[in-house]
Amino acid sequence: MINAYKYLLLTFLLPVAALADERPNVLFCFSDDWGRYASIYQDPDRSGLNDVINTPALDAIGRSGVVFNNAFVSAPTCTPSRAAVVTGMPFYRCGTNAFLRCREYGKSRDPYKSLPGFSELLVKNDYHVMHWGKTTNKSAGRRDRKNELPINHFSQAVSAAADKEARKKEIFSLVRANFRTFLDDKKEGKPFFYWFGPHNSHRQWTRGSGKAIWGLDPDSLKGKVPAFLPDVHDVREDLADYLGEALAWDGMVNELVQELKARGELDNTLIIVSGDHGMPGMPHGKCNLHDFGSMVSLLVSWPQRVTPGRRVDDFVSLMDIAPTVLEATDTDRPDHMLAKSFLESLTSKKSGIIDAARDHVIIGRERHVGEARKDRTPYPSRALRTSDFLLIRNFKPKRAPMGDVYKSDATTEQLLKDHYLAYPDMDGSPTKVFLMNNRDSYPKYFDFAFSTRPEFELYDLKSDPDQIKNVATDPAYSKDLRDLTDRMMNELRETGDPRVIGDGNTFDRKPFVDPTFVPPPKKKKILKF
């Protein structure tokens, strides 16, 4: 942090022009439920969902800086993921924020409260700070929710318009107007931090909007669907609608970048683009430790410092964003922070593997929605991801991973409207309903989504990139299973995971779990555009 006495001395010794603050601006674009969907992530060796989209703004950020090929969340559910990002701590060290919702019965000491968010530290370091949209409960500085409705509900707003192209442009202009207002309010020469957090890619979006708004033909996805999903029209349409929201996200990011260019602020702005977890409402997606739920985009640009056009294979956990931003902005880092800055990898001139120590990440989850299981218990899992393997340990394998069924006779319409009726830890979606309605015809895919899982899952990524063949019981992999398990458990113990220290049941008790708690009735949202 800038020393006040040193700064005062410099004001007497140096001319005014030399005192310009050269610390970078930071533009943090963090989308809700957006996984690894940008055309710059197309794989020439393997067809996939990115083949059918074109994201010029996101691609330009990657080309002007670094594309991180192995970026993962700490937890594939929004509150824990964001808690890890903002504090630079593993999600399991974030107290009640290791869960989506348990603050309603958090009446005992909560370690999360004592963890500073990195934007709080930027405010103290004299940054001009604002958070727009869905960000975090540690959003220091100013908050802005202006123009939030049409931006966050993009497909509904555009689908309701007679002139869809005009409405798209209008919503994009609102994104830029919000950013412009923030920048206009900044003192001359003062660096800024702007967190842009739309949640348009969070369900629900308008069915058929991928084709109606963006021209994404569901059948263009035929043969590109991951192996854990049935390659049928209903699923392809659901995927196309989601990819349409990724295109809307690209258009929003473009507005922010264009405003920076217009103001001459782009060169010294650190731009970080990512999302809090993978695709919602899908098997292996949100709330799952498989790549489809936990592997995300990470595109970083800083023209003044970063050599462009590089792809980095170092493993990065998104909790590493906090110390990276602090280091880049010359802001003091808290001593307790466990995450590691990746600024060295970012500013290197090399591609591929830069830091050999970055050869894995730890991922985990406890519980998404409070009502997932009738006794409100979590589904505790941890994973170790390396370049060769994904190891998952499910600590309570008898529990239902996506939760219980509350209404077995629910209709399709009811299931689409209220995902709490069955398997609540999977968001409501046409794909979810298809799997439930066609369980007998597609039993393998139903099992991928909802069935109980063994204590250990091990996937050989070279032969099984979609992670559908569990080899944990294969004798040929017994040494790999043992070595990976030992490595993961040792790291969890060293970093103080409550799931593996003490009796291992801290997260199964109050203030995290209260089976007697009755949540208040949910209010219906009425959207008007």
376-434 pLDDT tens trace: 999 999 999 999 999 999 999 999 999 999 999 999 999 998 989 999 999 999 999 99
Q: Are residues 457 and 478 in the same domain?
A: yes
pLDDT in tens, 226-272: 999 999 999 999 999 999 999 999 999 999 999 999 999 999 999 99
* CB-based contact 275:57 (threshold 8 Å): no
Domain-located, residue 121? yes
pLDDT digits (tens, 9 = 90+) for 195-211: 999 999 999 899 999 99
Residue 358 lies in a domain: no
Residues 293, 390 within the same domain: no
pLDDT above 60 for 293: yes
Provide the number of structural domains found in the chain. Answer: 2
Could you tell me if 150 and 296 lie in one domain? yes
> At residue 297, does pLDDT exceed 80?
yes
| Residue-wise DSSP of 227-274 | TTS--SHHHHHHHHHHHHHHHHHHHHHHHHHHHHHHHT-STTEEEEEE
Q: Sort 380 into a burial class: Cβ within 10 Å, 0-12 / 13-18 / 19+.
A: buried
Confidence of residue 110 (pLDDT cuts 50, 70, 90): confident
Count of Cβ atoms closer than 10 Å to residue 105 Cβ: 17
Task: Assess whether pLDDT exceeds 70 at residue 106.
Answer: no
Residue 262: give its domain's CATH number: 3.40.720.10
Please state which of the ranges 134-148, 223-237, 427-441, 510-524 shows the lowest mean pLDDT.
510-524
What one-character DSSP code corresponds to residue 118? H
Q: What is the pLDDT of residue 520?
A: 73
Query: How many CB atoms lie under 10 A from the CB of residue 107?
Result: 10
Are 381 and 471 members of one domain? yes
Task: For residue 517, count CB atoms less than 10 angstroms from its CB and return exposed for 0-12, middle for 13-18, buried for 19 or more.
Answer: middle
* Total length of the chain: 529
Q: What is the pLDDT of residue 136?
A: 86
% helix, strand, coil for the chain, step of 5:
40, 15, 45
- Of the candidates 125, 141, 123, 148, which has an alpha carbon nearest to the alpha carbon of residue 182? 141
Q: Are residues 115 and 184 in the same domain?
A: yes
Domain range for 157 is 25-352
Tell me the per-residue pLDDT of 48-74, one tens digit each, with 9 for 90 and over: 999 999 999 999 999 999 999 999 999
Are 388 and 265 found together in one domain? no
Q: Which two tokens stand for residue 178?
A: 């919000």
Measured between alpha carbons, how far is 35 from 249 in angstroms, rounded to an integer?
12
